Amino acid sequence: MIGLILRSIALACTASLAMLANPAAAQTWPTKSVTIIVPLAPGTGMDTLVRLYAEKLSQSLDKPVIVDNRPGAALMLGASALAKSAPDGYTLGVSTSSAMAINPTLYKQILYDPEKDFVPISLYVKSPFILVINPALAARNVPELIKLAKEGAAPLSYSTPGAGTAQHLSAEFMKQKFGVNITHVPYKSSPQSVSDIVAGHVSMAFAEAGLSLPLIRDGKLRALAVSSSTRLPTLPDVLPFAEAASSPDFEAVSWHVLLAPAGTPRDIVDRLHEEMKRILAAPEMQQRIANLGLLALPTPSVDGVNQYMRAEREKWGSLVKSLGLAGSQ
């Protein structure tokens, strides 16, 4: 009995020391460079933005902040690498709705748990899509497009960079909402999927803003709506889909979230959260975000980000299941 009591006391002391260790470590953090894993290649919109705030973060922390590009496996290579990293504040990672909300249902197996393996630091931008059509189509707005899709003599088609992508699910979300019958034409890349709308081979798409904006300005594509709940600063005259179609709950966006491995000391997470909030609120950063075709987002609290990601997993996971795509990849 005495031995059991002594063992319990020892365990309690060990736990107390562990609880005290985190704040002590956090107070001295960082003592070396910090790495941010980016799951896309250099030169992409995500990569460009991360490098912008990494420079500002480096100045705040007085330590180098290194960007480590890990493209591949539908953004899951980067997420898996982050999940396996030490939870010490020296390895962070960026992810999106694809890796955190769609892929867990779409793929048979993923090498991380989006709910348990990460702690969010900042949900800082939404990446909306633009509903674009070939200018030859007889539709000047979303209601006319929906009517054309339902009543037109020729069936309409839409392109995406592949089944299960955010662009694919955005179009399917529209199909379910409005009961339109449009045919999916998957491609191997976003540029190819958009160029075939310009060429008239496909009718429409929910396309990435950065890719489609130059073509819209040149008159090669017609923009009917943006998929976010607010307008894009770079396309101020184009209505949000929710407003254009009188469907208040319609929003189909990707998003960027900065994460740390689960178990990272909370005061390190809180410091990074506040630093990111300050950096991204600067007018210069807001303008750079807009120039990339993205929407700056005042980040919710850490708990608020978790709630948002859970809601997105439910929304897109349910759609993937309803399309019969669960475990298809």
Residue 134 structure tokens: 């070939």
Best CATH choice for the domain 128-244 from the list 3.30.428.10, 3.40.640.10, 3.40.190.10, 3.30.565.10:
3.40.190.10
Domain ranges of the chain: 32-127+254-322, 128-244
pTM: 0.85
Please determine whether the domains at 32-127+254-322 and 128-244 fall in the same fold group of CATH: yes
Residue 26 structure tokens: 């956090």
Region 309-327: what's the mean pLDDT? 93
Give the contacts of 156 (CB within 8 A, at least 6 positions apart). Answer: 137, 148, 149, 180, 182, 183, 203, 204
Residue 116 structure tokens: 């348990």
CA distance 231 to 311: 22
Residue 218 structure tokens: 């040149």
Map tokens 């736990």 to a residue: 15
Distance of CA 93 to the CA centre of its chain: 12
Region 117-146: what's the mean pLDDT? 96
Beta strands in the chain (DSSP E): 34-38, 65-69, 91-96, 118-133, 156-160, 182-186, 204-208, 222-226, 253-261, 295-296
Distance of CA 98 to the CA centre of its chain: 7
CA distance 272 to 267: 9
What per-residue confidence (pLDDT) applies to 1? 42
Closest CA to 132 of 215, 205, 233: 205
Q: What is the pLDDT of residues 149-170, one digit of tens each?
A: 999 888 899 999 998 999 999 9
Q: What percent of the chain has pLDDT over 70?
A: 92
What per-residue confidence (pLDDT) applies to 299? 93
Map tokens 């992810």 to a residue: 95
Q: What is the pLDDT of residues 21-76, one digit of tens each?
A: 445 555 789 999 999 999 999 988 899 999 999 999 999 999 999 999 999 998 99
Is pLDDT larger for residue 304 or for residue 9?
304
Please give the CATH number for the structural domain made up of 32-127+254-322.
3.40.190.150
